[in-house]
Amino acid sequence: MNDFDFEVYAPNFHSFTFKVHTGIDKNLQTISCDRKWILDTYNPIVEQLGDFPRDTIKLREETPKNTPFSLLDYRKNARLFDSDNGNLESNKPRRKLLVYPQQFDDSYSLSLDLFIPETPETDKINREKIKQFNPNNCFQIDTELGQTFLITAFLEENNSQNYEKIANYCLHELLSISLEEIETKLYRQGEIFDSNILEYGYPKEDEFHAVVVFFTDKSNSEKLEEVYWELPSLFLYHHKIINAYADSRLDYHKLDNQVAKIENLVSSIKKQDNTKNSQLSELELDNYKDTLKELLNLSLDYSQTLRNLQYYQNTIAINSHNYQIKLNKIQTISNNDLDFFARLIDKEWITLQEQIKADLSYFNQGNIILNRGIETIRGLIEIDQAKSDRLR
């Protein structure tokens, strides 16, 4: 398979990167991120690309009332730059770079589209040159909220049967991820605008997200271009959903461990409760008090973690609704049902909510056991105190 080679035409490499700029994290700490994050992310990428002008974008200072809005200090939403064709030593084809930064209610979005314009005989690249689109992995940004990679290109008819294999190799070369790992990340495939589309990254298991679309007709690519400006918000909601679910799994395991501790402590109460009518010894009383302290400490942490789980369920519900609204808008613009993306709502987003709902039902039972354990120990201590008072 290593000798597998292919050619794609007029490739576009899109990167949609997201960052929370205001809010509260899961540890109840305030989040505050300056708009400078856009420049700090964008400038190193341009520097690595090497054939685009640097320090060319300025950010607006004012904040419009309605979001989302472009962060560029221009009347245009985005800026388009041409590569420096005078650098003949670079051996790079003529490329363009579209820059589209936005601010949402609580997040930033930096959308970049690096592409070779459609031109006869000069827009063709082979597998080896795909790496030039992401030198030193400069497009891969470490951000908690997430990043979506979108590759679009034209394939000749004789290559259309190998589109899955070609898609895997494109991501392998572009992102420097092993071919085996890319193949395991392939989540599903289908059609969009009469073109093949493949999506990578399982929503329940992986925060990685990449999409590859192969066109065979120019009119199909134009349909995607019509809705391009709506894609950042659609992918933003996607990442908010899968991030909330990933965080819920961390709290799920935390609660599961806490339930085990609660059951052990409650079991220890039953073993200690052999006094019946006799008075507790000083050692037994101290053991009960220590157990009560542990349960009270667990109770606070358990309640907070349970609340987090409810928060993640609500977050998924809200962003699933936002995803649906945005998809409806894209469907209207493109006059297409976009069933490939619509299926996510019914197949995944609802399933994630139902999973957390089931978790909450289970762990609420643990809360009942915890409270009963606390009440039992308090009762035993109060009874022992009453016995002591009678003796005195």
131: left (phi over 0), alpha (psi -120 to 50) or beta: alpha
180 lies in the same domain as 249: no
pLDDT tens column, 55-79 = 778 999 888 888 899 999 876 789 9
| Residue-wise pLDDT tens digits, 38-60 | 999 999 999 999 888 877 789 99
Q: In this predicted model, which residue has the larger pLDDT, 299 or 258?
A: 258
Q: Is 182 a member of any domain? A: yes
Is the domain of 52 the same as that of 13? yes
Q: pLDDT tens digit string along 135-155?
A: 999 999 999 899 999 999 999
In a domain, 2, yes or no: no
Query: Is residue 284 scored above 80 in pLDDT?
Result: no
Best mean pLDDT range from 108-112, 131-135, 270-274: 108-112
**Does the pTM of the predicted model rise above 0.75?**
yes
Domain co-membership, 178 together with 41: yes
Contacts 24+ apart (CB under 8 A), 275-278: 275/384
pLDDT digit string, tens, across residues 293-339: 777 777 788 888 899 999 999 999 999 999 999 999 999 999 998 99
Q: What b-and-e string marks burial along 6-34, b requiring 16 or more CB atoms within 10 Å of the CB?
A: bbbbbbbbbbbbbbbbeeeeeeeeeeeee
Quote the number of domains for the chain.
2
CA-angle at 142, arms to 250 and 341, nearest 5°: 70
> Per the domain annotation, does 228 fall within a domain?
no
pLDDT tier, 86 (very low <50, low <70, confident <90, very high otherwise): very low
User: Average pLDDT in the 277-294 region?
Assistant: 67
The CATH number given to whatever domain includes residue 290 is 1.20.1050
Range of the domain at 14: 7-216
> Could you say which of 216, 233, 265 is where a domain stops?
216
Statement: residue 276 has pLDDT above 60 = no
Query: What percent of the chain clears pLDDT 70, i.e. is strictly above it?
Result: 85
Q: Residue 260: pLDDT above 60? A: yes
pLDDT at 357 over 80: yes
153 & 284 share domain:
no
- Residue 203 in domain: yes
- Domain assignment present for residue 384? The answer is yes
357 occurs within a structural domain: yes
Q: Are residues 268 and 354 in the same domain?
A: yes
Please list, residue by residue across 297-316, b when 16 or more beta carbons sit within 10 angstroms of its beta carbon and e when fewer do: ebbeebeebbebbebbbebb
Let me know whether 24 and 173 are in one domain: yes
